[in-house]
Chain A
């Protein structure tokens, strides 16, 4: 149980394009979803927290107009990196949880901007 699916797993695109990443909870309802960014050999840095039907709460230093988050249902959240540039290249991981249960992570998306 507690499976989180994240797509795509890997994306390469040109600078200036927008990229959408999906995070789905497959066998539970995710009241809260989280988006993290992880640079090579570094820890997971929380970008934003989203609750179903509410606006996302962004961490300090994260541009909300750059990283658009939508949590339209209890099983789906999306992260859109708008007008992506090479410095946005990173490993993005989502997690989801139901109520007081632990967070369960997706497989991550490796984003490369050329």
Chain B
């Protein structure tokens, strides 16, 4: 069945360093890839998304890259800050309909 693998499961970085989270999807028909940030006990919040017709998208300190051939996409956070600490989920879907979520990455930014 459809599957999204996400790595690493935990990631600790020093404040100011970059963080990279990678996801691989199985369904080649997937064409929409959102990233969500979830703080403890709160709702997942969309932080960036990318559609399959582009290879990269950037929004200030956050960027996402997509390699359709290899079926993987990555989240890049530069100049990390303590408030970036949270759990990050990637997802893949056809259109924006049914999301298949990755297993999550717990990011800790050490001050």
Contact = CB atoms under 8 A, between A and B. Distances in A.
Interface stretch (B13-21, B39-47, B61-69, B78-86): B39-47
Q: Dominant SS at the A interface?
A: strand
Interface stretch (A12-20, A74-82, A93-101): A93-101
Contacts of A49: 97-98
Contacts of B96: 97, 100-103
Interface of B: 34, 36, 41-46, 49, 89, 95-104, 106
Interface residues of A, number: 23
Contacts, number: 50
Q: Dominant SS at the B interface?
A: loop
Contacts of A101: 96
A94 to B, nearest CB: 10
A44 B44 contact: yes
